[in-house]
Amino acid sequence: MDKRTNIWCQKNIKSKYLTKGIEVEDDAIDYAAESLGWLFAKKNEDFFADDFFCGTPDVILEDTIIDIKSSWDCFSFPLFYKNNPSKDYYYQLQTYMHLTGRKKAQLVYVLMNTPEQLTFEDSHDYSEISSKYRIKSFDIDYSEEVIYEMQEQVIKSREYIKQLWN
């Protein structure tokens, strides 16, 4: 069975926020790469999986995993945050580092224009705003302890599911 079809790795969620992220992802990667000086950065298409986790990191550099998040608008963009605003994304990047063997990651929020077909609101044009106000990056270091704890949670979840099936 193709690991991409593994039931444990698949969940289909739809929202205008995710749709925007998907639609502007390539442009957001290019914009961030140019603004942050990532040489030869391109969208990763490789899927990674082991016995516990699976996923497709957005960008894989020689020693760093990059995950791009496209904020819906300037009000949801974490411009004034000093620390990563999302525990979920922290764990997502821990997983990607584990799967790829990297020890560093960056969570990068990018403020891109929302495609007109996705909003009924007045459209906002951020293209004339400096990248220092359109890109916010958070560094994340690999934690073997976090991976161990996540693997333990997967084991406990599987045991619980088996109990439900019996």
Q: Do the bridges between strand 104-110 and strand 64-70 make them parallel or antiparallel, or are there none, so unpaired?
A: parallel
Q: Do the bridges between strand 135-141 and strand 54-55 make them parallel or antiparallel, or are there none, so unpaired?
A: unpaired
Q: Which domains does the chain have, with CATH numbers?
A: 14-165 (3.90.320.10)
Rg (CA), the chain: 17
Percent of the chain with pLDDT over 70: 92
Q: Which two tokens stand for residue 9?
A: 């790795």
Question: pTM score, two decimals?
Answer: 0.87
Q: 35-75 pLDDT, tens per residue?
A: 999 988 899 999 999 999 999 999 999 999 999 999 999 99
Residue 145 CA to residue 97 CA, distance in Å, equals 13
Residue 126 CA to residue 134 CA, distance in Å, equals 8
Helix (H) or strand (E) holding 163: helix 144-165
Q: Which three-class secondary structure state does DSSP give residue 106?
A: strand
Q: 2-46 pLDDT, tens per residue?
A: 444 454 555 677 888 888 888 999 999 999 999 999 988 899 999
Residue 58 CA to residue 125 CA, distance in Å, equals 25
Helix axes 144-165, 87-100, angle to 10 degrees: 100
